[in-house]
Amino acid sequence: MDQPLNPITKSVFNDLLETQTRLRDEAEGRWLAARKFILEITGYVASEWMYEKQTSGADLDRIPLETLIGVIREHITHLVMQTSATPVRVSDPDLRQKYQRLEENFRQAELRITELTGENKNLSALIRQMSETTQKNNAKQSPTLEMAFAVSDMTVIPDFYLEWTREKFFEREAYTLRLMGETGLARAPELKEAIIERFEMGARSGSADETLASLLKRGFVTDYGTEGGLVGRPPGVIELTPLGQVVYLFLTGKKPVESEYAIKKDHKTDAHTRLNLKAQDWLKKAGYEILEHAPVIQTVGFVFNPDMVARRNNLTLYIEVERESSKGNQDRDAKWRNLFQFTNGQMYIFCENLKAQRAVIREINSALSKNLERAHVFICNLSQMSEEFLKETGDVWTSVRQDE
């Protein structure tokens, strides 16, 4: 169900629409003024042609600009050549200079007309698209990001954005939005750690919390309260709102990437999703490429559904991520037998802590039975994982069981 439109977000989108409408009107005014100037030049250099049009009843305002420009170019060229070849014997000795100045003025006017015609066309299309989007949004009571990305001229900066850039902690807040938009990072604890490291804050400093709180107050990010956030959104997860995505567009000129928490659809619970993201972080630090989350692989005799697929040095790993929790009605024996069979005994597993690791080992021992001696089990205990361990070993596996 669509959420009601935030009043701040609605106000900002309305400001964007009003700004673009005003610019369109100003461009149309400049375009009409330039057309009037072109018509006056035509009267100067092609008076007979203009008189013929007027006496024939033609509406001068409907004569295409291309026609007027062609007439002016033809007559100026003719007049300049004439004054160059034959001495001008008229009462005004500066006639040639006047025509030359007129030709230069015309060239400038022609360039301006071309520029304004394109500007008017773009702004008209933009206003039409934004108006249509606004009507849809009013009907749905929910903004769409496409309206923001319809703004083709990023030099038009709304007032709310300019005011924000003058705020004392703009640099911190802008860094946080860029980080979220560039990486998809959505976990509040990890965001706080990044802010603290980037701005060299003390471990007990509350500035990182204040940064996120300010972004929340401005309507740039979603609620991330540790005691629970918006309905349907897990605590501790912070994402860009539609307004925040617009701000990221103004900061970088690009669309933000998808939130990392989008993988929630592939995993069982919010806690399991966060654990997968933590495992993913360490894999990336160790040089692995994440290929896929929770693929469903149909094999002969069973369906294989690992939590993650990663690759390094042409070696593809099928990975399970295990929490310290009850596994409900899962057939645990089948789970580990399927992993063993599909990977030819190469079993890669992330565990939340030592308790989860011990439970996994017991289950594998029970499930594989006689095949256990052919199993190569690589376990990463996430509670023991550290930068020092990764630097020392070059990998993430804190426990390895292989053939003797």
In order of 27, 36, 44, 53, 103, the CA distances from 60 in angstroms are 21, 10, 15, 8, 21
CATH number attached to the domain at 159-257: 1.10.10.10
Rg of the chain's alpha carbons, rounded to an integer? 34
CATH number attached to the domain at 262-401: 3.40.1350
Q: What local confidence, expressed as pLDDT, does residue 228 receive?
A: 39
Q: Is the Cβ–Cβ distance between 21 and 127 less than 8 Å?
A: yes
Tokens 């294989």, residue located: 304
DSSP assignments along 226-265, one per residue = TT--STTS-TTB--B-HHHHHHHHHHHSSPPPPPGGGGGG
Q: List CB contacts of 203: < 8 A, sequence separation 6 or more.
A: 196
Q: What span, in angstroms and rounded, lies between the C-alpha atoms of 162 and 352?
A: 45
Q: Is the Cβ–Cβ distance between 123 and 27 less than 8 Å?
A: yes
- 344: closest CA among 379, 381, 315, 314? 315
Question: Side chain identity at 27, as an amino acid letter?
Answer: A
Q: Which residues pair with 350 in a beta bridge?
A: 321, 380
Q: Is the Cβ–Cβ distance between 239 and 222 less than 8 Å?
A: yes
Q: What is the pLDDT along the chain (404 residues), one digit of tens a residue?
A: 444 445 555 555 666 666 666 666 666 676 777 777 777 777 777 778 888 888 888 887 778 877 887 787 777 766 656 555 554 444 455 555 655 666 666 666 666 666 655 555 555 555 555 555 545 544 444 444 454 444 435 556 677 888 899 999 999 999 999 999 999 999 989 999 999 999 988 877 889 999 999 999 988 998 765 433 334 445 688 999 888 888 898 888 888 998 888 887 766 788 888 899 999 999 999 999 999 998 889 888 888 999 999 999 999 999 999 998 766 667 889 999 999 999 999 999 999 999 999 999 999 999 998 899 999 999 999 999 999 999 999 999 999 986 54
Q: What span, in angstroms and rounded, lies between the C-alpha atoms of 164 and 173?
A: 10
Distance of CA 196 to the CA centre of its chain: 24
- The angle that helices 332-342 and 354-368 make with each other, rounded to 10 degrees, is 80
Q: What span, in angstroms and rounded, lies between the C-alpha atoms of 265 and 279?
A: 17
Q: What local confidence, expressed as pLDDT, does residue 382 receive?
A: 95
- Provide the 8-state DSSP code for 371: G
Q: Is the Cβ–Cβ distance between 161 and 177 less than 8 Å?
A: no
Q: What span, in angstroms and rounded, lies between the C-alpha atoms of 345 and 199?
A: 46
Element (H, E) at 37: helix 7-45
Q: What local confidence, expressed as pLDDT, does residue 312 receive?
A: 95
Does the model's pTM come out above 0.75? no
| Backbone dihedral angles phi then psi of residue 366, each to the nearest 5 degrees | -70, -40
Q: Is the Cβ–Cβ distance between 209 and 193 less than 8 Å?
A: no
The pLDDT tens digits for 93-136 are 555 565 566 666 666 666 666 665 555 555 555 555 555 554 55
In order of 44, 57, 400, the CA distances from 50 in angstroms are 9, 11, 92
Q: What span, in angstroms and rounded, lies between the C-alpha atoms of 316 and 298?
A: 18
Q: What local confidence, expressed as pLDDT, does residue 302 receive?
A: 87
| Backbone dihedral angles phi then psi of residue 265, each to the nearest 5 degrees | -65, -20
Tokens 């933590």, residue located: 278
